[in-house]
Structure 1
């Protein structure tokens, strides 16, 4: 995989790493590839402005709502089994979406893709953490995972622009089918089962309350850009979702076999690590969205030129992931996480200086490149921080929580920043305001995490 790993990994471990990282990269590409292609999909299947967001929402609801549940199921019934089942479902859903002839079929495919992501993503990450011992080896593997995860988002935007401009939006669905088939064929022979020896138990009341609560919250946030944050419908959804999540917390404190043991949720590394993940993904995905809006609707660039703008940041993201493990070894988790967030916040906040001239294209690419270096460094540090110091039997839970953080952040970030951008008197001024808020939130989060982890880890 890389020179830093070849000397210490067996051939089987290298293949395992390649497959698991390939799956994570493919899922990241699958999330972002449709964002740039959305206008083409809307034109092809006659989605209007009111129904087009459902293409993203149909994926986000199951992806965020069921991640924690499937993370625990992976612990109890076998991580490899759930990983392979998620890949098989992804193949079927992608074929369904690529061949869809009407809106209902395409939305059904997106729902199934969301379920596939909720199954495969935490299972793949827990297989990754349990396949390598805690320490430098795992840190480097997670560094590559963070690089490919962020690189997948940017490559997906680039590929989505190419497909939308030069080919057909259907390839946005069909592109990952051969990759998933290859991983599905090879993984059973090289990836260990990863099943815990304990007798399987599932906290059904906890699973029901957390899933319903997350679904309601994500649905409410998804509706907010069109309905408004103060609309009765959105407020009822968010309030009901919060009530279910409070019920979940109460159940977990008393359940004999909790879905998410309170002791784990109270660990400073888990709590602050996941806060870092929430900020890095929510604010990072928002900048990609705002940058796409700026390039296409303010400067008038094509989808292809928009995708190209993410090419250099994607390369920088991979570089940052490769050296992420070394940064952790030299500076520690706290410094790497806080430093990565600080770099991301300064770079992305600096984009608030953008103007309406096409000469801004180079400045945007530079800020994206620097920002994504910090972005990926923070992703690596948050993943390691949120999953360190836990036994293998709880890795599925820990990685389920970190994956849940990622999915919720990706779902929440864009609607929130869209609302901020809509507050501006013009599109450009709104985008600049949202970018300024984005950078400020990231920097404030970095400060809070620095203080929270100061007495816990180095």
Structure 2
């Protein structure tokens, strides 16, 4: 009788590629993420200066802001998959180069069309570089605690950059003009590009894969239609054109899911969501929505009700950003010891408390220290804890050769959560404001009532998310996931073989 061959049920974690300067490598990946996220928000404060210089119409001004987030958000998943197929180092360098060229074109744009096109082009580069950088991190830092620490630094620096974009934009615009918010990226990105040649390892894909052009087209068009629909919801309200765009997005995303379920080598293998850790993607979406919703509402309150300049309002968010950065760093060291079932609900409760206190403190006489600082600190504590925990948890269920597409899915979820929350919060604020006006309230009082209502809804969603997280998230994180095709379970034959 032939002896059955036994194959281990789980492979050991793959060896990390050799990187000579691991500290420099981590600093480079985090710095590039900082630059990319600043690139998305840095333009907000500079919009009045851009409008005055180029003579932009309101609709054109909106597209200067939206063009980057549109291409960035809808191409993240395709960028992540491309990193798995063509090589993470190669796509990281290509994305950084495209982003640099896009920034230079923005700086020299002479009219609205060129500026909007250049912003979209820079977003394409960011969609290539960002998921490639995250997947490089998870490939180089293999040991669970080391990976958690690296992802904690990544999340902390990224959150800090996204929040500081307004401050950086205001300072550069005041010092040298709006073109400097784009021009400063060029030497910084060129330096990062040069350093990357020496510290980023060339990692060949372990398996031959194809790109799945049909899936890429469907998801790109679907996410683009969704972002467009949400943008139209903010600008035009619940008009037929808005619902038509959102319906088209639903159809395209549905077709994408069907194609992924039936495809031989899909763009987004649905199997990566079969692990319990995949619930973390949901809480990435939820946390982005809660944080951006509170950020958006409080920014409007400071500028429209309190009369603060955009630059002053940007500086007001620095404690929030600093708290996110510090909390993310501390939590990253304890994610595997404490576990997501405790950390994520605790973070969402803190976010709910921050949003609730912010709602109660909104008043025309509100001071920063008395009404805004404590809620900002609570929101920073909660967001910092959740961002790291959910990033580590979500990617722990993604096989190593799929880390590029996993990173793309994670970033897409975060971007979608922010876009969705702004649209929903804007609609809720408008509805509640109109009801208050109909009841005889003044414009200022009615606007504050609308903002309070939106923030209370945000707090309620965070509390509901905390309850859900305590139920569905795993108590502890397991080791790296394996592909079904890479794992053979030892099973003795049912009958003797001759």
Query: How would you bin the TM-score normalised by the shorter chain?
Result: over 0.9
**2:292 is matched with which residue?**
285
Question: What's the offset of the Cα at 1:150?
Answer: 0.9
Distance in 1 separating the partners of 2:250 and 2:475: 31
1:223-372 to structure 2, matched below 5 A, reads: 223-229=232-238, 231-270=239-278, 272-353=279-360, 354-360=362-368, 362-372=370-380
**1:5 is matched with which residue?**
none
Question: What's the offset of the Cα at 1:455?
Answer: 7.0
Q: Write out per-residue CA displacement over residues 162-209 of structure 1, whole angstroms, 9 at most, x where no aligned residue.
A: 234444222221222222111101102111123312113122221221
Contact 1:162/1:303 (<8 A) preserved: no
Question: What's the offset of the Cα at 1:345?
Answer: 2.0
Question: What's the offset of the Cα at 1:452?
Answer: 1.5
**1:178 is matched with which residue?**
187
Q: Write out per-residue CA displacement over residues 32-82 of structure 1, whole angstroms, 9 at most, x where no aligned residue.
A: 211222233223222233332212221122111111111111001011111
Distance in 1 separating the partners of 2:100 and 2:366: 40
**2:460 is matched with which residue?**
440
Contact 1:134/1:388 (<8 A) preserved: no
User: Does residue 408 of the first structure (1) align with residue 416 of the second (2)?
Assistant: yes
User: Does residue 110 of the first structure (1) align with residue 130 of the second (2)?
Assistant: no
Q: Write out per-residue CA displacement over residues 257-303 of structure 1, whole angstroms, 9 at most, x where no aligned residue.
A: 11111211333212x11111111112212222222211111001112
User: Does residue 129 of the first structure (1) align with residue 138 of the second (2)?
Assistant: yes
**1:391 is matched with which residue?**
399
Question: What's the offset of the Cα at 1:454?
Answer: 4.8
Contact 1:161/1:306 (<8 A) preserved: no
Q: Which moved more, 1:304-313 or 1:44-53?
A: 44-53
Question: What's the offset of the Cα at 1:118?
Answer: 0.9
Question: What's the offset of the Cα at 1:351?
Answer: 0.5
SS at match of 2:266: coil
Question: What's the offset of the Cα at 1:83?
Answer: 0.7
TM-score, normalised on structure 1? 0.93
Distance in 2 separating the partners of 1:10 and 1:342: 40
Contact 1:352/1:436 (<8 A) preserved: yes
Q: Gaps spanning 5+ residues in structure 1: where?
A: 1-8
SS at match of 2:21: helix
Distance in 2 separating the partners of 1:421 and 1:71: 35
Question: What's the offset of the Cα at 1:318?
Answer: 1.7
Q: Which moved more, 1:77-86 or 1:383-392?
A: 383-392
Contact 2:292/2:418 (<8 A) preserved: yes
**1:12 is matched with which residue?**
21
Question: What's the offset of the Cα at 1:410?
Answer: 2.4
Contact 2:340/2:476 (<8 A) preserved: no
User: Does residue 452 of the first structure (1) align with residue 475 of the second (2)?
Assistant: no
User: Does residue 150 of the first structure (1) align with residue 156 of the second (2)?
Assistant: no
Distance in 1 separating the partners of 2:111 and 2:382: 41
Q: Write out per-residue CA displacement over residues 304-331 of structure 1, whole angstroms, 9 at most, x where no aligned residue.
A: 2112101222222221122121231331
Of 77, 92, 108 in structure 2, the residue corresponding to residue 83 of structure 1 is 92
Question: What's the offset of the Cα at 1:358?
Answer: 4.4
SS at match of 2:252: helix
Distance in 2 separating the partners of 1:48 and 1:76: 42
TM-score, normalised on structure 2? 0.86
Contact 1:148/1:321 (<8 A) preserved: no
Question: What's the offset of the Cα at 1:233?
Answer: 0.9
Of 60, 81, 106 in structure 2, the residue corresponding to residue 97 of structure 1 is 106
Distance in 2 separating the partners of 1:406 and 1:279: 8
SS at match of 2:467: helix
Distance in 1 separating the partners of 2:369 and 2:302: 8
**2:484 is matched with which residue?**
none
Distance in 1 separating the partners of 2:81 and 2:152: 24
**1:4 is matched with which residue?**
none
Contact 1:420/1:430 (<8 A) preserved: yes
Contact 1:62/1:215 (<8 A) preserved: yes
From the CA coordinates, give the structure whose radius of gyration is larger: 2
Distance in 2 separating the partners of 1:111 and 1:454: 39
Cα distance change of structure 1 residues 118 and 454 upon mapping to structure 2, 3 Å threshold: same
Distance in 1 separating the partners of 2:52 and 2:285: 33
**1:3 is matched with which residue?**
none
Higher percent of residues as helix:
1
- How many residue pairs match? The answer is 448
Distance in 2 separating the partners of 1:158 and 1:366: 20
Q: Which moved more, 1:217-226 or 1:152-161?
A: 152-161
Question: What's the offset of the Cα at 1:384?
Answer: 0.5
SS at match of 1:300: coil
Cα distance change of structure 1 residues 155 and 262 upon mapping to structure 2, 3 Å threshold: same
User: Does residue 218 of the first structure (1) align with residue 227 of the second (2)?
Assistant: yes
Distance in 1 separating the partners of 2:141 and 2:37: 22
